[in-house]
Amino acid sequence: MMKIIIYIFIFSYSISSPALCQSGSSVALSGRTQMNFGIDFAMINMETDRIYYSKRISLFHPRCMIINNLPPGSYRLYLFSWSSSIRNSNNPIHKYFGIFEFKENKSYYLGNFVGNDDKEGLYYTVVNTRTPKRLIKTLRKRMLINKETDIIKTYPYNSDTLRIDSKFLH
């Protein structure tokens, strides 16, 4: 029994240890779809074509997604929720978000989106310009930021609403 407690302590310490903190950037997003799911996303490095996929910040907070340890460079959104991974210039996701330049050891926030659908496709609206408190708390705990002002917000975008036609959906 004592061995189990020691292993749990070592594991929990190693997760919060500075040695396991990020060496690159982090990119976060919050929001929900019409069915109350979080919004998955992926970023593609423009120089290497490597794709980085988001994960929930915690099991109990599915609306906040994050990509950790993103090397510095130019990135484009590759996937956004249920969109397809079309790389051509007609992709509405590419037009809406554009290209991001991420620097090392910085934390970026894409925004808080609410998604809905209709017969022509999906649309996502930026609903709040505040970074969720749960996300801030998690980024601090993971030592990715010291204070809320360390988060670099990437919006406003050209429009408050991203429209994804049905032809771009899976």
Q: What is the pLDDT of residue 13?
A: 33
DSSP assigned state of 63: E
Average pLDDT, the chain: 77
Q: Is the pLDDT score of 125 beyond 60?
A: yes
Beta partners for 29? 65
Q: Is 63 exposed, middle or buried (0-12, 13-18, 19+ CB in 10 A)?
A: buried
Separation of alpha carbons 135 and 145, rounded Å: 11
User: Beta strands 55-58 and 61-70: pairing type?
Assistant: antiparallel
Domain map (residue ranges) of the chain = 22-168
pLDDT digits (tens, 9 = 90+) for 62-73: 778 899 999 999
Q: What is the pLDDT of residue 86?
A: 58
Question: 166, 156, 163: which is closest to 127 by C-alpha?
Answer: 156
Copy the structure tokens of residue 15: 């997760």
Q: State the pTM of this model.
A: 0.77
Once rounded to an integer, what is the mean pLDDT over residues 143-167? 85
Token pair 């790389």 is at which residue?
87
Which is more confidently placed, 150 or 16?
A: 150
Separation of alpha carbons 64 and 134, rounded Å: 8
pLDDT digits (tens, 9 = 90+) for 5-49: 333 333 333 333 333 444 688 898 888 776 656 788 889 999 999
pLDDT digits (tens, 9 = 90+) for 85-102: 656 667 788 888 889 999
**CB neighbourhood size of 110 (10 A):** 24
Separation of alpha carbons 70 and 93, rounded Å: 20
Beta partners for 61? 58
The CATH number that domain 22-168 falls under is 2.60.40.1120
